[in-house]
Amino acid sequence: MTSLKHIAARYRYVLPIMAVTTAFGLLGATSGWAQAPAPAPTAQAAQRDAASLLMSEDTVITLRPDRTAQIIETRRIRILGSGAIQSEGQQSVRYIEGMQTLEIEAYTEKPDGTRIAVDPASILTRDAATGLAAVYERDLKVRTVFFRDVAVGDTLVLTARREELRAMFAGHFDRTLLFPLNVPYADSTALIIAPKSLPLNVSVLGEQLDHQVVSTATTTRHFITYHPRRRTMPEAGSTSMLDRDPRVIVTTFDSYEQLGRSYWDAMGTKVKPNTEIRKLADQITNGIDDKRAQAEAIDRWIKRNIRYVGVYLGTARVVANDPATVLMNRYGDCKDHATLMTALLTAKGIASEQVLINAADAYTLPEAVTPDYFNHVMIYLPELGLYDDPTASLAAFGVLPRLSYDKPVLHMSKDGAHLSHTPAMRPADHVTTNRTRVAISATGAITGETSDTATGANAAELRAAAIKFESIGLETAAERILQFYNNAGKGRYDIGSPADGAPEYVMGGKFTINAAANFAPNAYVAIPRGMAVLARPGEALFGTRLANRQFPFICSAGRQIEDIEVTFADGLPLPAPLKGIKVDNPQFTYMSDYRLEARTLKIRREFESRVAGQVCAPETEAAITAPLKTVQADLFTAMRIPAPPPAKPEAKVEPRKPAQADTQLVNRNQ
């Protein structure tokens, strides 16, 4: 369970803020249910070269009637290239101290069959999580094995024997075996042995897996073999490997409703408000009578006063702390936030349900019931018909992180448990608007101001950018953004409070560009973007373009508006007329308009992604690639400074023929 959460919980937000992500490497803060930093995938370095190694994994799971188990995993890594020696010469195995025991045997096997054993005394044991991203799993340990005398042609063999003493969910066993398509696997096997009397569901998902069942009077054995076909590398922006890669799910849960009840059994008593909770709820909602406004006030109080920190020991991975403890500490993980909010809402007579969700990149739930697909807890308010995430501290009430839209979820309350689905994104709810006003003086000096406005999930992400800018300095941030646009200069951002909780967030600033604009005849001048932080129309909502996609990819609905005005001082030549475009297809619409009014060039671009859900099929890639190239070309339209019209040649003056009167006068003078 824990290892798959590491795989699934890779990120929380996908920021549609291209300049920020590129210039600063900014990502949204992670939070979730028992989340921790993702471990380096097996063969991480060598996976770039399929010939560097070949790996097989053989697993034997032996279940007992009391639903404890012994799990023996044998990993064999054949070194085929020198690049794999460094990356694979040490292997790590995780376990939860107090809930599991772990024994390791390892050796290097030479081509002639000679075995060079790893000395058990050289195996290091240390904490696996150290608090990165505010997650502290103090009983999660890792043992690292250093293989001896490794050379090309050798095979590294590691056998890990675990005793599962306690389960996360009392009275249940579940395990997911995942075979990532990007790992260079040889044939691998899994054997599940269980008492025939034990209700057990073994689900095998993937064409490359062969499943055979053999039963005796007392035992059922599941023989599973993985026959990998060809290695498939990850694709940018694709959905989780949990949605598509070969996997085996072993579980004693018979339904998601049973899983939800098991979760609620441990949580139900914690959400009952005591005197302290009722007093706090009254203080938070003092003077507020409307139920929605009360719920919003409670949500805002939690987001402002309870910071995200996860400290996990044993079953605390799925059991929340008491609200009183959370209030005393003023921190907690997602379960703690959800439980405190449930108690405060209950104190005001507002019904709520806790919701399990995958807050990362998995968008499906298998029929076989496993908690491994869930890594986060949030809230649903049935009277209001909305979801809310009290750990999303930068989001307005009822606004979810981008990766929480259009997801299967499990609702839980005192009334039971049931599956549901979070809503898909609506374009009108997630809007970004960039307004930039630029003035070009008679000497070519460029000054201006920029304002970015965002709603919905975009607003939370823009607030995250503001926090990042504040941490490095608002003037330094402006300089870096200007430099990113190849417009070195000076500026300063003006940011609002990231904790305002409003549906809309605005930030912007003023700037001056160092270099003067070039107005030479027939020159092309880039249209200044100023200090815009938000992605431009057509960027980010469909992720990265990738030819010949094989897997579904994540896409967002939303509207992006860019409004730019460039004013030219008297005496400067005005740019040649520009022509706007329109693009309309089932996935998106785009329009641009260019108008020259007096001495101001007014530009408006608008893009609307209207995808029905947040997972786009691979075929969508082919449908949107060419239209998006058209949009991209329009975004980089430049102003052309026309050459002045050629001067008209001076008319040739012919000598004037004297008139008759003049001739007579000349004659008389003679």
Q: What number of other Cβ atoms are within 10 A of residue 15's Cβ?
A: 23
- Give me the pLDDT at residue 140, please: 80
Q: Is there a domain that residue 99 lies in?
A: yes
Q: Which of 365, 396, 421 is the last residue of a domain?
A: 421
CATH of the domain at 586: 2.60.120.1130
- Give me the pLDDT at residue 109, please: 97
Q: Which of 421, 444, 459 is the last residue of a domain?
A: 421
Residues 485 and 626 in one domain: yes
Q: What is the pLDDT of residues 602-639, one digit of tens each?
A: 999 999 999 999 999 999 999 999 999 999 999 999 99
Alpha-carbon distance of 311 to 423, in angstroms, equals 31
The CA–CA distances, whole Å, from 650 to 254, 417, 539, 647 equal 97, 92, 54, 9
Residues 209 and 235 in one domain: yes
Residues 282 and 234 in one domain: no
- Give me the pLDDT at residue 130, please: 52
Residues 514 and 590 in one domain: yes
Residues 364 and 461 in one domain: no
Q: Which amino acid is at 147?
A: F
Alpha-carbon distance of 388 to 386, in angstroms, equals 7
Residues 189 and 238 in one domain: yes
Q: Is there a domain that residue 24 lies in?
A: no
Residues 416 and 432 in one domain: no
Q: Is there a domain that residue 666 lies in?
A: no
- Give me the pLDDT at residue 51, please: 62
Alpha-carbon distance of 204 to 247, in angstroms, equals 6
- Give me the pLDDT at residue 658, please: 60
- Give me the pLDDT at residue 322, please: 87
Segments of the chain scoring below 50 in pLDDT: 1-49, 131-135, 312-316, 662-670
Residues 234 and 281 in one domain: no
Residues 431 and 417 in one domain: no
- Give me the pLDDT at residue 376, please: 92
- Give me the pLDDT at residue 48, please: 37
Helix 275-284 and helix 334-347, axial crossing angle in degrees, nearest 10: 80
Q: Is there a domain that residue 401 lies in?
A: yes
Residues 409 and 520 in one domain: no
Alpha-carbon distance of 63 to 198, in angstroms, equals 9
Which runs of E-coded beta strand occur in 128-178? 135-137, 140-146, 155-164, 174-178
Q: Is there a domain that residue 654 lies in?
A: no
- Give me the pLDDT at residue 269, please: 81
Q: What number of other Cβ atoms are within 10 A of residue 330's Cβ?
A: 10
Q: Which of 406, 421, 436 is the last residue of a domain?
A: 421
pTM as predicted: 0.87
Alpha-carbon distance of 43 to 390, in angstroms, equals 37
CATH of the domain at 384: 3.10.620.30
Q: Is there a domain that residue 388 lies in?
A: yes
Q: Is there a domain that residue 670 lies in?
A: no
Residues 160 and 235 in one domain: yes
- Give me the pLDDT at residue 268, please: 78
Q: Where are the alpha helices (DSSP H) in 557-653?
A: 618-635
How far does the chain reach from its first CA to its final CA, in angstroms? 126
Residues 403 and 432 in one domain: no
CATH of the domain at 85: 2.60.40.3140
**Maximum Cα–Cα distance for the chain, whole Å?**
151
Alpha-carbon distance of 444 to 464, in angstroms, equals 35
Residue pair 425/363 in contact by the 8 Å Cβ criterion = no
Q: Is there a domain that residue 529 lies in?
A: yes
H or E element that contains 275: helix 275-284
Give the count of domains, the chain.
Answer: 3
| DSSP symbol at 580 | -
Residue ranges making up the domain that contains 243:
36-166+174-251
